Amino acid sequence: MQDSNPVELEILPPHEILDTFENINVAAPMVRFSKLPFRELVSLYDVQVTHTPMILATEFSRSSTARTLDFSTSLTERGSFLLNERTRSSLSNASDNDLLEGDRPAGSRRRQRRVRGSLIAQFAASDPKPFADACELIYPYVDGVDLNCGCPQSWAFQEHIGSWLLGHPERVRDLVRAAKDRLGFSYPVSVKIRVDPDLQRTHQLVETALHAGVSHITVHGRTKNQKSSHPVSLSSIAFAVEVARGRVPVVANGDAWSLPEVETIRKTTGAQGVMSARGLLGNPALFSGYDETPPSAIKEFVRLSTDYGLMFPLFHRHIGFMLESRFNKLERLYWNTLPSYASVLDYLTEQGIDLDL
């Protein structure tokens, strides 16, 4: 759980959090769903790095209406965490999972530090100037920006954004450099990619991103043509980790549905962080070890949604995802008929969920 004591709170960029501390958990950028109430909710359950939904950079840079609809934040959404430093050793290429406790060198005892969580804004872009413009508008309110290079939807490919960029590493380079030139080289700019069936193409894309100056890389372990039902290739993520090793942290993405699966992903890939998307939608407390969404998380999401004014269709779908494992067929059909906040709150109360707000 996040630590609420503000004493000696450190504010670090996301790549330093990933590189410095063990067991870093990341909430994925999800279209529509990674809004402020959900980001703040998962920060209460051991998620140290969160993302906005994927935002279209051109519209965000041109329209104040788009900016209002696409982004909001608060002083409390990031949370704070008591984290364990990674153990450094003379075996520079060995991960913590490779070392037994007795093998750690003298004086390498882990040190705990209190750190504020990080918020990253993710953009979809193809033109460097609108991307840089959007980054300049949002950077005072976030801890880093991310370039989406993996959205597999056909409309995105046709617009030369998302997974289209996987086949155009030179455009990725130009986009990253445009943001760096605008914001300063030290400002964190990351990329989120998918693996390629030809891992040499993955190698080329990772190397190009590194040379452009990215701060970290997130790797989804499916190709752009594989459905979400296709198993994630952890070995392909591990390949990307090896390419980037020692230069920037890597976050592994895909099939993180439970804490045991998260630990398998960490151990198998050697990544510095693990990202979850659909797993967190169904269970925002999965990184805290819960098998299903606890009633306390549902209650907290109700409070956050009403406080921040989350539109009802999103509120309804979020709660539906959280209750999915409890529904039978008739209950699911009934749930889908609920028309308002009040009807949802009545339903939750009838299910024995304490909503004394």
Give 187's Cβ-side CA count (13 Å radius). Answer: 23
> Same domain, yes or no, for 51 and 134?
yes
> Same domain, yes or no, for 188 and 319?
no
Give 312's Cβ-side CA count (13 Å radius). Answer: 10
Query: pLDDT tens digits for 55-91?
Result: 999 999 999 999 999 999 999 999 999 999 998 643 3
> Same domain, yes or no, for 254 and 314?
no
> Same domain, yes or no, for 117 and 215?
yes
pLDDT greater at residue 1 or residue 255: 255
pLDDT greater at residue 306 or residue 92: 306
Residue 99 belongs to some domain of the structure? no
| CATH number (domain holding residue 178) | 3.20.20.70
Give yes or no for residue 23 having a pLDDT over 70.
yes
> Same domain, yes or no, for 48 and 147?
yes
Q: Confirm or deny that 54 is annotated as ligand binding.
A: no
Query: pLDDT tens digits for 223-251?
Result: 999 999 999 999 999 999 999 988 999 99
pLDDT for 5 equals 52
Residue 3 belongs to some domain of the structure? no
pLDDT for 101 equals 38
Residue 91 belongs to some domain of the structure? no
Query: pLDDT tens digits for 124-155?
Result: 999 999 999 999 999 999 999 999 999 999 99
> Same domain, yes or no, for 154 and 179?
yes
> Same domain, yes or no, for 219 and 151?
yes
Give the residue from 288, 308, 330 where a domain finishes: 288
Residue 300 belongs to some domain of the structure? yes
pLDDT for 246 equals 82
Judge whether 115 and 80 are in contact, CB under 8 Å. yes
Give yes or no for residue 96 having a pLDDT over 50.
no
The separation between CA 176 and the C-alpha centre of its own chain, rounded to angstroms, equals 19
Quickly state the pLDDT bin for 2 (edges 50, 70, 90): low
User: Between β-strands 55-56 and 118-124, what pairing exists: parallel, antiparallel or unpaired?
Assistant: parallel
**Residues carrying an active site annotation:** 151
pLDDT for 1 equals 58
Number of domains composing the chain: 2
pLDDT for 106 equals 47
pLDDT for 87 equals 82
Containing domain of residue 319, as a range? Answer: 295-351
Q: Confirm or deny that 31 is annotated as ligand binding.
A: yes
Residue 259 belongs to some domain of the structure? yes
Residue 102 belongs to some domain of the structure? no
Q: Confirm or deny that 311 is annotated as ligand binding.
A: no
Give yes or no for residue 208 having a pLDDT over 50.
yes
pLDDT for 79 equals 94
Q: Confirm or deny that 220 is annotated as ligand binding.
A: yes
Give yes or no for residue 95 having a pLDDT over 50.
no
Mean pLDDT on 189-197 = 97
Mean pLDDT on 346-350 = 95
> Same domain, yes or no, for 209 and 321?
no
> Same domain, yes or no, for 140 and 47?
yes
Q: Position 127: which residue type?
A: D
> Same domain, yes or no, for 121 and 73?
yes
| Per-residue tokens: 98 | 């490779």
Alpha carbon separation from 248 to 163, 173, 268 (Å, rounded): 22, 16, 18
Query: pLDDT tens digits for 163-183?
Result: 999 999 999 999 999 999 999
Share of the chain above pLDDT 70, in %: 92
pLDDT for 188 equals 98
Query: pLDDT tens digits for 239-295?
Result: 999 999 889 999 999 999 999 999 999 999 999 999 999 999 999 999 999 999 999
Residue 93 belongs to some domain of the structure? no
> Same domain, yes or no, for 282 and 304?
no
Give the residue from 288, 309, 326 where a domain finishes: 288
pLDDT for 94 equals 42
pLDDT for 126 equals 97
Q: What is the CA radius of gyration of the chain?
A: 20
pLDDT for 357 equals 62
pLDDT for 7 equals 54
Give yes or no for residue 97 having a pLDDT over 50.
no
Give yes or no for residue 107 having a pLDDT over 70.
no
Taking each helix axis from N to C end, the angle separating 341-350 and 295-308, rounded to the nearest 10 degrees, works out to 160
Q: Confirm or deny that 251 is annotated as ligand binding.
A: no
Mean pLDDT on 287-309 = 97
What integer best gives the mean pLDDT of the chain?
A: 92
Give the residue from 288, 308, 336 where a domain finishes: 288
Task: List the beta bridge partners of residue 189.
Answer: 145
Ordered DSSP codes for 101-131: GGGSPTT----EEEEE-EEEEEEE-SSHHHH
> Same domain, yes or no, for 51 and 156?
yes
Residue 132 belongs to some domain of the structure? yes
Share of the chain above pLDDT 90, in %: 89
pLDDT for 4 equals 54
